[in-house]
Amino acid sequence: MTATSGALRLVADVGGTNARFALARPDGRCETAANLRVADFPEFDDALATYVQRLDRQTRERIASAAFAAAGPVEHDVVRLTNAPWQLAAPHIADQLGGVPTAIFNDLQAVALALPFLGHSDVAEIGPVPRYEAEPPDRMVAVNVGTGFGAATAIPAGDGWTACPSEAGHMSLPAANAEEAELLAALSPGRAATLEDVLSGSGVGALYAWLSGGEPIAADAVFARVDADPTARRTVEMLSRWLGRASGDLVLATAAWGGAFLLGGVVSGWYNLCNDSAFRAAFEDKGKMRARMGGVFSGVVTRQDVALLGLAKAPVAGV
């Protein structure tokens, strides 16, 4: 496949359940999107071939580069999915696509690469601090809370952006009072508690179970009970504080003065129920950095195809 006028980038956001393919224009707009079930294909190559074969010849010839995001750690341009038997290898995929420049990113890296290009309608504010555009631009951090906890930082690089992934979910989660210490000891017996022990789908369920004295339930079920269940409300209140504290810590650790941008299944359920003030109080409570943290933006990403946007804008060697 060779680049022609109106060049397109083939992009795909590959998770453990679904792989979402699309063709991206240089301005980030995506078209010809298709969702393919991972379980329906033995290998990623098979899913990629199925998508490409659905395109007409002229469209295939316009594919000038490719970028993929996958739910797993990327090492030497290769990623094995954490929750599925697929492997993606950039050199092999490039050959399959006729030699076009190809890059692979961690899924949250792709989200971070989208942050500089999100419009005001793509982000909902948490608290009173407005989003702003600095010159020169500031770093920003994407914080994902879903099945697990993850973070990646968008970093200005020349005329564009790069992104640094992390394993933030495995950072230690300290207790701020005796109740939190008792809770964390119960959730992580015999070891230090991590962010993911609380800030994840299973963590929310475990937090509710500890507060209620019952069995863990799904995070969505906790959120659905908030109006009628005081324990569910208490769970959301504690989640707000811990999420604010962790997000603020990540801003400090990465110098992400451009803001913290939250997303993921747990964040979506939590946001409409959360106490902005509790989140922001924990977010800003950083000792001598309190005043500076008081001016740092925090918000929730509402755009659904954010990873594809990041892939459309991602730096790909050879392009």
For the stretch 233-284, pLDDT in tens is 999 999 999 999 999 999 999 999 999 999 999 999 999 999 899 999 999 9
Question: In 146-236, at which residue ranges do the beta strands (DSSP E only) sit?
Answer: 149-157, 160-165
CA 278 – CA 270 distance, rounded (Å): 13
Domain with 81, as residue range(s), is: 8-107
What CA–CA distance (Å, rounded) separates 259 from 23?
29
Q: What pLDDT score was predicted for residue 5?
A: 54
Same domain as 73, residue 36: yes
**Whether 13 and 97 share a structural domain:** yes
CB-side neighbour CA atoms (13 Å) of 56: 2
190 and 136, same structural domain? yes
CATH code for position 252: 3.40.367.20
Please list the residues that pair with 299 across neighbouring strands. Answer: 125, 261
Q: What digits encode the pLDDT tens for the residues 25-64?
A: 988 999 999 999 999 999 999 999 999 999 999 999 999 9
Task: Please tell me whether residues 74 and 147 are part of one structural domain.
Answer: no
CB-based contact 173:194 (threshold 8 Å): yes
314 domain-assigned? no
Domain total of the chain? 2
| Residue 306 domain-assigned (yes or no) | no
In this structure, the answer to whether residues 162 and 218 fall within a common structural domain is yes
Residue 66 lies in a domain: yes
Do 128 and 264 have their domain in common?
A: yes
Q: Contact at 8 Å (CB) between 102 and 67?
A: yes
- Residue 73 is predicted with a pLDDT of 87
- Domain presence at residue 313: no
For residues 149 and 58, state if they share a domain: no
CATH number of the domain encompassing residue 87: 3.30.420.40
229 domain residue, yes or no? yes
Q: What is the pLDDT of residue 238?
A: 95
Q: Is residue 86 part of a domain?
A: yes
Residues 132 and 189 occupy one common structural domain: yes
